[in-house]
Structure formats: structure tokens, C-alpha cells
Chains A and B, each alone.
Chain A
Amino acid sequence: AQSVSQHNHHVILSEAASLELGCNYSYGGTVNLFWYVQYPGQHLQLLLKYFSGDPLVKGIKGFEAEFIKSKFSFNLRKPSVQWSDTAEYFCAVNVGYSSASKIIFGSGTRLSIRP
């Protein structure tokens, strides 16, 4: 069964610091990869997604992620964080095409930004 691992439970950074959140998945076939963000008290919003093509994907709010197939990784990065990036970040995966396969979420990383 596919699973998603996020290495950092809670990350604390100062404004303007660079961010990298780790994500690894376990599945050997075709996968679709996502990063979702959940601001306090709000619903999940899509930051970026990878289906195929260029393994470096750019999302909203200056976020990007790199898909490295050999490492089963899809790490999220941002060169300079802002206080408004304080949120919970979830890596997610679903598998293949055609079937309405479920999306599996990682356990999440809480990002706290010091002003």
C-alpha cells in the first residue's frame, strides 16, 4: 500500500529564511504528487502538483517542489519565507489513472515563522 512520510513534524524559522520540507512516498508505479497547505482554522488548499513532465514544479506564493523519482521524494521549497506562511503543510499522493483512487496524506509539517 502506498504511504507518505513527512520528516519534520514542526519547523520554526525566522522571516526571510529558506525553507525545505521533506516528503517521501512509497509506491513504485505512476504517482501524482501534491502539496497542500492548511492555514489555521481553514480548509486544505493546493500549493502545487506534479503529474508528469518537468520534475521541478512551481506553485503559488513562491513555493516550488522537486520530484526525484530515484529517491521517491517530492520536497517542498521556498527561498524566503514570510510570517503569512505560518500553516500546516501536507504532502499527498494518489496513484495512477482512471480509477478514482484515494489521496493519501502525510502526517503534516507545522511551519511557524518568527516575525
Chain B
Amino acid sequence: AAGVIQSPRHLIKEKRETATLKCYPIPRHDTVYWYQQGPGQDPQFLISFYEKMQSDKGSIPDRFSAQQFSDYHSELNMSSLELGDSALYFCASSLTSATVNTEAFFGQGTRLTVV
């Protein structure tokens, strides 16, 4: 079965550079979530999209932005990178409807290292 695909799997950037992370949800899923997981930390919610519109926002820095495109894939853009941005970034997708919930399926993550 198709899963959530994230690219790249690993990324090394220097301070003050920009990074773009991509997420391809499971086909027919309409909701995408982005999470940041620092070393030894629990996943922290960044932002979510439902039907290409931002639906919820968490602790996402102003330096970060995200969007969901017409084909439902999503991109997380990170500018002016800081050492503290080094983390595992997870994307998840789910199908949201008015009558039933489904669980979120997580991608394998992008490990971002800022040097």
C-alpha cells in the first residue's frame, strides 16, 4: 500500500541558509500535518492543511512557512536556518470527513542538520 513519502530523507544546511521539505500524502488523503521532533523529544505540531487550506497552526516559527498544493502534496519552507532547527521533521496525512475519523499515517521523516 502507498505510504506517506517525504523528501529528502537527509539534509545538511549551513546556518542562515534555506531548506525546503516535501511531503506526498497517501492518495485520497485530504489532510497533511507537519511535526518537528528534536533529539530525545516528542513530536511537536507545526502546522496542518485540510483541502489545501491551513487548518491549524502550532509552534511554527515565523521563519517557516508551508503550503499544500493542488495535488495535495505539501512543502515546508525554512529560512534563516538556526542550529536549533536541527531535528527530524515528520509529515503525516489522514482522511478527514464529517462522519468518521481516520488515524494519521506518518512518513519516514526528513532529518535536517544545520551546521
Interface residues of A (CB under 8 A from B): 32, 34, 36, 42-46, 49, 51, 90, 94, 97-108
The yes or no answer to B8 lying at the interface (CB within 8 A) is no
CB contacts (< 8 Å) of A99 on chain B: these are: 50, 55-56, 96
A contact patch SS: loop
A46 to B106 alpha-carbon distance, docked (Å): 9
15 contacts between A and B (CB under 8 A): A32-B101, A43-B90, A44-B43, A46-B105, A51-B100, A90-B42, A97-B97, A97-B99, A98-B96, A100-B55, A100-B96, A102-B45, A103-B45, A103-B104, A105-B42
Interface residues on B, range: 20 to 34
Known pairs A99-B55, A100-B50; A106 contacts B42 (CB<8 A): yes
Total number of A-B contacts with CB less than 8 angstroms?
63
Residue of B nearest to A4 (CB): B42
Distance, CA A32 to CA B94, complexed state (A) = 13
User: Closest Cβ of chain A: how far from B37's Cβ, in Å?
Assistant: 9
When the two chains form the complex, which single residue of A44, A49, A100 contacts B106, counting CB atoms closer than 8 Å? A44
Partner pick for A94 among B58, B97, B101, CB 8 A cutoff: B101
Q: Are A102 and B106 neighbours in the complex by a CB distance under 8 Å? A: no
**Interface check B62, CB cutoff 8 A:** no
Determine whether B108 belongs to the interface, using a CB cutoff of 8 Å to chain A. yes
Contact yes or no, B42 A108, CB < 8 A: yes
B-side contacts of A49, CB under 8 Å = 103
In the complex, what's the smallest C-beta–C-beta distance from A76 to chain B, in angstroms? 15
* Residue picked from A42, A45, A105, most chain B C-beta under 10 Å: A105
Contact digits for B37-60, partner A, Cβ 8 Å, 1 yes 0 no: 000001101001110000110100
Check if B24 is an interface residue, CB within 8 A of chain A: no
* B106 and A90 contacting across the interface, CB-CB below 8 Å: no
Choose one: B30, B43, B50, B97; the contact of A105 (CB below 8 Å): B43
Would A43 and B96 be within 8 Å (CB), given that A90-B43, A106-B42 are in contact? Answer: no
Contact B56 A46 (CB under 8 A): no
B106: chain A residues at CB < 8 Å are 36, 43-45
A104 to B59: give the CA distance in the assembly, Å. Answer: 12
